[in-house]
Structure 1
Amino acid sequence: MSGPGSATLEEQREQEYRQISDHARSGWKRSIAVGGFILVVVVVSAWVVGMLDGTRMITGLADIADLLSEMWVPDFTNINSWWGPLWDSMTMSIAATALAVVLSVPLALCGARNTSPHPALYWVARLFLNVLRSVPELIMAIVFVAAVGFGALPGALALGIHSAGMVGKFFAEAIEHADNAPIEAARATGAGPAQVILHGILPQVLPQLADVTVYRWELNFRASVVVGVVGAGGIGFELIAALRTLQYDEVAAILLVILATVTVVDALGGALRKRFQ
């Protein structure tokens, strides 16, 4: 026999169920609205750039097929002359990554809320990191080629300075998300700011910093091919030279060599990331 109490309990459960259902329906409505907006933005963007132009796309695919036929069979006749530029690209990426880390560490410490000495310095560091990563490495490479001449040096400088903006941002975010307990414990022992960073923060974030560094090295090696196009040395310089002389079979061979090297770099980077985890 049910009494007034059980009826009230049933009404309360029914009311809770209605609230949950209303909340779920409102969540679905918001998701559909956001998804529809994103879809409209994607379709408009594709239309603006011409991706929805079927005739142009089909013509382009036919031209690509013709180009691929000219690239086959790859010509490896000059492969012995590519090892030097390929080594330049490798050393360029390593030097650039090292430069990025050297620049990123102080910027990240100043650009993290829990380690920045002053709020004004925090905003200055964040602004500087934004500026560094907003300038494409290709533009930086052109500037450094004009400043220091052709070769791997302008490429390393361009990649390193551009990478510092992104690496510094990741470093700063890792520092900000560090567990506060070891930091407070270090401060409780009377440790100074430098000791707090050294003993309370770095042991926590070092694996993540190493992971970001290795990943950035992989990206820098790929980017070293691009900056070589503007005279910043490396295998990219050989690639653009073959393109300018319309030697597409040699272009295909260089691309295959780059692909093989990138595969090796990715495998080595993956092994290093596992090692630092």
Structure 2
Amino acid sequence: MNRVLSPPAAGDEHDRFDSVSRRTRVGWGRVFGEVSAVIILIVLCAYAVGLLDAGRMAAGMVDIVDLLTQSWPPDFTDLDSWWHPLWDSLSMSVAATALAILLSVPIALLGARNTSPHPAVYWAARMMLNTLRSVPELIIAIVFVAAVGFGALPGALALGIHSAGMVGKFFAEAIEHADQAPIEAARAVGATPPQVILHGVLSQVLPQMADVTIYRWEYNFRASVVVGVVGAGGIGFELIAALRTLQYHKVAAILLLILATVTVVDGFGGFLRRRFA
């Protein structure tokens, strides 16, 4: 015997509509409150640092325009003497990125929950990554300049150690999000822990690791200009020397040279990312 389903009563439909409407209003109210809180926090922070000081900002813009006027046209008469420092900056970025990878991969494996041998090791590795990236590369560069002297070496060490903290964090998160099925399959066939990590974990996350590595290399080249300011070699050392002697025409030329090189590095990094990531 077929059972005939009676249509829902009009009162039930009205109750469901009221329930959905109520949840929607509550949801939008919560979103509005959260967005309002974020906007208020942003306005307070902007006020604290002076972004809302219109008079000060206007005076600063006038000074910037005056400085740009003094810097034009760029003076490229010393271009031949800048190629070697520029090469030092490029070499510094490559060496620093390689050092960061060597340091970060083992720490990331120890700092990922699914590959760490013990919770205490996990927390120790995470604390090490936090420590490495919490100290700015400029401060690390000053320490290494005092330790090993001026030149590209302290810059490469500073960038590499600081980058290890950030790269290791991204590596650890990628490892934690690896699919467990290949890992369990490797364990099921009797693979040793190193084999599980190599074939079950790293084989999955290599594209993400390559992407992070290329991005960090691009960042390290830009950061190499900054650490050069404290004597860590590279084109940044030439830039600060021109600034200290008020040679603004040379400053503009060096900045344009850095801009052109950054554009080339970013383009090459994009090519590598499409090729390997």
Q: Does the TM-score normalized on the shorter chain lie above 0.5?
A: yes
Matched with 1:219 is 219
Deviation at 1:7, TM superposition (A): 4.5
Aligned partner letter, 1:157: L
Name the structure 1 match of 2:123.
123
| Aligned-residue offset at 1:24 | 1.6
1:18-97 alignment, distance < 5 Å: 18-97=18-97
What residue in structure 2 maps to residue 98 of structure 1? 98
1:167 pairs with 2:167: yes
1:87 and 1:4 mapped to 2: Cα distance?
80
Displacement after TM superposition at 1:101 (Å): 0.2
Shift of 1:276: 1.2
Q: Distance in 2 between matches of 1:40 and 1:241?
A: 42
- The runs of 5 or more residues in structure 1 that have no matched partner are none
Instruction: Return the TM-score normalized by structure 2.
Output: 0.97
Q: Secondary structure at the match of 2:7?
A: helix
**Distance in 1 of aligned mates of 2:61 and 2:111:** 47
For 1:206, the aligned partner's letter is L
Task: Tell me, in whole angstroms, the C-alpha distance in 2 between the residues paired with 1:225 and 1:69.
Answer: 23
Distance 1:11-1:190 versus aligned 2 partners, 3 A rule: farther
Following TM superposition, the consecutive aligned residue runs of length 4 or more in structure 1 with deviations greater than 4 angstroms are none
Pair 1:155-2:142 in alignment = no
- Per-residue CA deviation, residues 247-277 of structure 1 (Å, 9 max, x unaligned), is 0010000000000000000000000000013
Separation in structure 2 between the aligned mates of residue 80 and residue 199 of structure 1, nearest angstrom: 49
TM-score normalised by structure 1 residue count: 0.97
Percent identity (aligned): 69
Residue in structure 1 matched with residue 209 of structure 2 by the alignment: 209
- Corresponding residue number in structure 1 for 2:238: 238
- Displacement of 1:30 in angstroms is 1.0
Shift of residue 17 of structure 1?
2.5
How far residue 23 of structure 1 moved from its aligned partner, in angstroms, is 1.6
Describe the shift of the 1:209–1:7 C-alpha distance in structure 2 as closer, same or farther (beyond 3 A).
Answer: closer
Greater Cα shift, 17-26 or 222-231: 17-26
Which stretch has the larger CA shift, 151-160 or 10-19?
Answer: 10-19
Deviation at 1:4, TM superposition (A): 10
Structure 2 unaligned residues grouped into runs of 5+ = none
The amino acid that maps onto 2:91 is T
